[in-house]
Amino acid sequence: MDIRILLALQEFRNGAGACLVDFMSKMSFIGEMNTVLIIMALIYWCVNKEFGKYLLMGWSGNRVVNGLLKVTGCIYRPWIRDARIVPESEAMATATGYSFPSGHSMNAASLYGGAALRRELSKAFRIALGLIVALIAFSRNFLGVHTPQDILVGVGAGLIVMWLTARLMAWVEAHPEKDLMVMCAGIGIAVAVAVFAAVKPYPADYDAAGKLLVDGAKMANDTYKGVGWCIGFLMGWVLERRYIGFSTDVSMMTRVTRLTTGLLSYYAVSLILNPLLKGWVPGVGGTVLTCFIQMFYVTFIFPWCMKKLEHAPARC
């Protein structure tokens, strides 16, 4: 049934629906991991710290959940299951890891869906956010890289994690001394997921020419990324709340300064420092380390730098 739906969408996409390909590709783009992380970082730095912290915590948890489900199910991508499926080439570039559940759908549920769950936002805005979640999820079907069940489970699981995150944050606010316990528990779970992904056996199916269809070790790479991001968030979150306490209740000029310096420095870390580190620390260790640094920079290092610079005494 799922393959028949994708074939029908493919036929429509190649015919009357060709005009929608670019639009659906753009919807898919705003659900990509790095796009979502940058938006959440800017909210955390410049708009509303508590709201950004909630989004970052929920997304970090969702990346671990997504990685665990992917390596547990080991469901092949649609075009591997059926050669008649021919996805859009641009979408295939971001279709990493196993197929189930959809990572883009969980990203969308984390950021846009997580925001839609917040009752302090207007009803119209929440409806618009819900529509964005639906469009991002459907774009993965339309572009041929996920089945309907991939996106439905992705959105559902993502929203559940965001709901649990909101409850966890409320509990921590009522028991602030428990943040260290939450950090240790979260890191323990993340490490356990990484170990599971590293030691479990993966399917080894071959095509007619004797070539391995899917390398399970490579498919687990997204799981290791999620582990690195989760640990980076948890450590940065606790250190920031205990030793920095920066605020987003600042002037518009300060917000603009944070936005510009934050984007430039984030890209320097992601596109210069991390590739260098990956060359020095290859394999799983490099993947976990670079994603840890990326998130730790967002949650702790940049807020620490801004707190120091913004409160430095003026020099004549």
**Quick check: is 316 in a domain?**
no
**Quick check: is 312 in a domain?**
no
Checking if the pLDDT of 314 tops 60, the result is: no
**Quick check: is 314 in a domain?**
no
Checking if the pLDDT of 162 tops 50, the result is: yes
Q: Of residues 304 and 215, which shows the higher confidence score? A: 304
**Quick check: is 315 in a domain?**
no
With both helix axes pointing from N to C terminus, report the angle between 179-199 and 221-243 in degrees, rounded to the nearest 10.
170
**Quick check: is 199 in a domain?**
yes
**Quick check: is 218 in a domain?**
yes
- Total count of domains within the chain: 1
**Quick check: is 14 in a domain?**
yes
Contact at 8 Å (CB) between 267 and 204?
no
pTM of structure: 0.93
Q: Among 4-18, 218-232, 258-272, which stretch is predicted with the lowest mean pLDDT?
A: 4-18
**Quick check: is 211 in a domain?**
yes
Whole-number pLDDT of residue 90: 82
Whole-number pLDDT of residue 316: 41
Task: Find the domain containing 267 and state its range.
Answer: 2-307
Contact at 8 Å (CB) between 230 and 216?
no
Checking if the pLDDT of 315 tops 60, the result is: no
Q: Among 90-99, 225-234, 307-316, which stretch is predicted with the lowest mean pLDDT?
A: 307-316
d(CA 204, CA 74) in angstroms, rounded, equals 11
